[in-house]
A = this chain, B = another copy of it.
Amino acid sequence: MLDYPALAALAEIIRRGSFEAAAAALNVTPSAVSQRIKGLEERMGQVLIHRGPPARGTATGLRLMQHLDQVRLLEDTLDAALRPASGPATLRLAVNADSLATWFPPAMAALPVLYDLVLDDQDHARDGLRQGQVSAAISSDPEPVPGCDVLPLGAMRYLALATPDFLARHFPGGVTEPALRAAPAVIFNHKDGLQSRWVQKATGKRLHLPGHLIPASEPFARAVELGLGWGMIPEAMAAPRLRPLLPDLPLDVPLYWHVQRAMVPALTPLTAAIRKRAAADLRP
């Protein structure tokens, strides 16, 4: 068997960012935590924690933390009489920023766990799943990850929006190629291709857009509302005063729920809640 007290120390260090905070949370001395990790690293033959500060898990360290979370979730499914008196289990999930900003949070109440959410784009979600560092992910990536089940949830609809003033100033002659090349867009981060995909749909061409980089969902929408640029906004977050750049040209982004196969039973209530929310709030 693995050394579970050592795994508990490992998880606390990774989640709290230091050996000291982990020791206090576990109510043991920092040197006891150090020894548990040192022993675990010696048995595993590899480093599990980058010492920092902040202390961070290595890929193997994150994998072991995830294993501990899974064991604790399994313990939670035992009869109450058999269940150890430890606190609630932790569930580490990757969620794309716009889902977290809109339809996802109410589904979280379906499981009595502590959530450890990883806000990330699809590449990281995929890596996290493949390396066993997250139990499940909501992502726009349709490709199944080895060892995971994938369930389509429906599509998030994005609209290309701007303020009426912005449209009058930057698109006086309509949404032309030269205007798109000059008007500032609002872009989430360098992986965000939504604006470019919409432009390709609208003009048939790949244009390279000047843009603000604003890597948070609501501030992104707010920047568009303030007239700093145009951007692709989930329909649920679209302020009524914004106007579409072109009528009737939404962009639908299908979303998927990926779950580590070993976790499928323990996550059944969450999966049901996610499907229900998605059915209500996403496009079929």
In the complex, A116 Cα to B210 Cα: how many Å?
11
- A215 pairs with B117, CB closer than 8 A: yes
- B24 pairs with A115, CB closer than 8 A: no
Which residue of chain B has its CB nearest to the CB of A213? B116
In the complex, A119 Cα to B216 Cα: how many Å?
8
- Kindly identify which residue among B54, B100, B106, B206 contacts A226, using a CB–CB cutoff of 8 Å: B106
In the complex, A210 Cα to B15 Cα: how many Å?
11
Copies in the complex: 2
Q: Does A30 contact B (CB under 8 A)?
A: no
Q: Does A75 contact B (CB under 8 A)?
A: no
- A108 pairs with B226, CB closer than 8 A: yes
Range for the number of chain A residues in contact with chain B: 35 or more
In the complex, A171 Cα to B197 Cα: how many Å?
50
- Among A105-120, those with CB < 8 Å from B are 105-106, 108-109, 114-119
Q: Does A235 contact B (CB under 8 A)?
A: no
In the complex, A118 Cα to B212 Cα: how many Å?
11
Q: Does A191 contact B (CB under 8 A)?
A: yes
Name 29 A/B residue pairs within 8 A (Cβ), A-sorted: A17-B190, A17-B191, A21-B190, A21-B208, A24-B206, A25-B208, A54-B190, A87-B210, A88-B184, A88-B210, A100-B219, A101-B219, A105-B219, A105-B222, A106-B226, A108-B223, A109-B226, A109-B227, A109-B228, A114-B210, A114-B212, A115-B213, A115-B214, A115-B228, A117-B212, A117-B215, A118-B215, A216-B216, A217-B218
